[in-house]
Amino acid sequence: MHLLPKFLLCRQTAAALFLSLCGLAAQAQSGDDQELFETQKRLTVGVTKFAEARTSLKAFITQRAVRVQKQEETPDQLTAEFALPTRYLPRLDSLAAELGFVLENNLNAHNLTSRLQELQAEEQTEAADKDRLEKELRNTRLEASERQKLLDDVERHESSLRRLRQRQQSIVSHQGQAYVSLRLYDEVTFPTGNRKVSFVNMPGVEYSYLRLDNPAADRTASAYQGYAIKYLFTRGKSYFNLGVYKPVTKNTTDGEFVNELFVINFGQDFYPRNFGRGRRKFMNLYTSYQVGGFILNRNNDEENQFIPNLNLGLGVELVKTRHILLDTKASYFVPLDSRSRDLRGILGQASFNFVF
């Protein structure tokens, strides 16, 4: 009664082991195939419209690929390895750029002439060894065991010769072709492309100009300007800013006049999927929010208040490199307080940050 479950378990284990060995063999075969091509290409593309992109790429592979080594699909990912005439590589690059964001595009090219010469030299050595063994087999005085050993050696050399000739033929037949390893994934499912958050240390300075919509007479100025320290800590990008805004036109006679806004904010910026995703060196568009608050100071220094605020805006990174960032944005400054009508308005900001 207990033998049947054990037998089924053994069968399942054997099946799993067989599938694993087949997978390893397929990977090894894939690696061997790549070595027979002078050009090798790796392409990874993230898209927002996965179904349409998958259909376009599968049609491209069907129409132009010489041979498909592997093609696997899941509901949110497509992987394929195929041989493609090198003249179609520019078309593949153009199609990938049209479909979405190219996360990886690596092209390796090397000359296989020396490898072909090595295989030819190995073939000559194997052929010479095989001829030598066949001459020894003509000796009529050989014992049965010695003859069998020589026959086994001859068969081994014949097998090696077939393999060497096949590899040489493959190299010659693959001339003018590229081995392409392609991965297409859905950015909705993989929003970061399987990449971790990238932390940075980028301090900087920021200039701000706040123009109020409804300044209160004798209580607020029409506009405030000031400077802040802006500290970026992720490339995403996330940051803190700490600064002071002063009135453009001062009023020292009225005690209720707001003469200073001491601002503390946390902010994040988000890049659109279809406009470079923040990876261009110039003119990266983004949306942003800032949450935090400010301490409101008056001329009479009485009843200083901390007022929370929320800013929603749109910005452009004018210049962006690995070491510096020149940034500008416009947002709507909204105090979350009863005095919101007097203090809300358009906030313009320009900042410069550098890797420290």
By the 10 Å C-beta count (0-12 exposed, 13-18 middle, 19+ buried), 231 is classed as middle
Percentage of the chain lying above the pLDDT 70 cut = 83
Q: Does residue 193 register a pLDDT over 70?
A: no
3-state secondary structure the chain: CCHHHHHHHHHHHHHHHHHHHHHHHHHHHHHHHHCCCCEEEEEEEEECCHHHHHHHHHHHHHHHCCEEEEEEEECCEEEEEEEEEHHHHHHHHHHHHHHCEEEEEEEEECCCHHHHHHHHHHHHHHHHHHHHHHHHHCCCCCCHHHHHHHHHHHHHHHHHHHHHHHHHHHHHHCCCEEEEEEEEEECCCCCCCCCCCCEEEEEEEEEEEEEECCCCCCCCCCEEEEEEEEEEEECCCEEEEEEEEEECCCCCCCCCCEEEEEEEEEEEEECCCCCHHHCCCEEEEEEEEEEEEEEEEECCCCCCEEEEEEEEEEEEEEEECCCEEEEEEEEEEEECCCCHHHHCEEEEEEEEEECC
Residues 6+ apart with CB under 8 A from 187: 46, 47, 48, 100, 101, 193, 273
Averaged pLDDT of the chain = 82
The whole-number pLDDT of residue 79 equals: 95
CA–CA dist 32, 214 (Å, integer): 73
**For range 23-42, the mean pLDDT:** 64
Residue 316, pLDDT > 60, answer: yes
Query: Considering the domain 199-354, what is its CATH architecture?
Result: Beta Barrel (2.40)
Cβ–Cβ under 8 Å, residues 289 and 312: yes
The number of beta carbons lying within 10 Å of the beta carbon of residue 149 is 13
32 has pLDDT over 80: no
What pLDDT, on a 0 to 100 scale, did the predictor assign at position 198? 64
135, pLDDT greater than 60: yes
pLDDT mean over 225-253: 90
- Give the mean model confidence (pLDDT) for residues 298-316: 87
Closest by CA position to 46, among listed 161, 244, 194: 194
What confidence score (pLDDT) does residue 47 get? Answer: 83
Nearest to 316 by CA among 348, 273, 345: 348
Percent of residues, the chain, with pLDDT higher than 90: 42
- Whether 190 has a pLDDT exceeding 70, the answer reads no
| Residue intervals in the chain for CATH 2.40.160.20 | 199-354
Q: What is the pTM of this model?
A: 0.54
When pLDDT is averaged across residues 28-41 and rounded to a whole number, the result is: 69
Kindly report which listed range (22-26, 99-103, 112-116, 239-243) carries the lowest average pLDDT score. 22-26
What's the one-letter identity of residue 346?
I
Closest CA to 157 of 180, 192, 125: 125
Average pLDDT over every residue of 68-81: 92
Res 110: pLDDT: 77
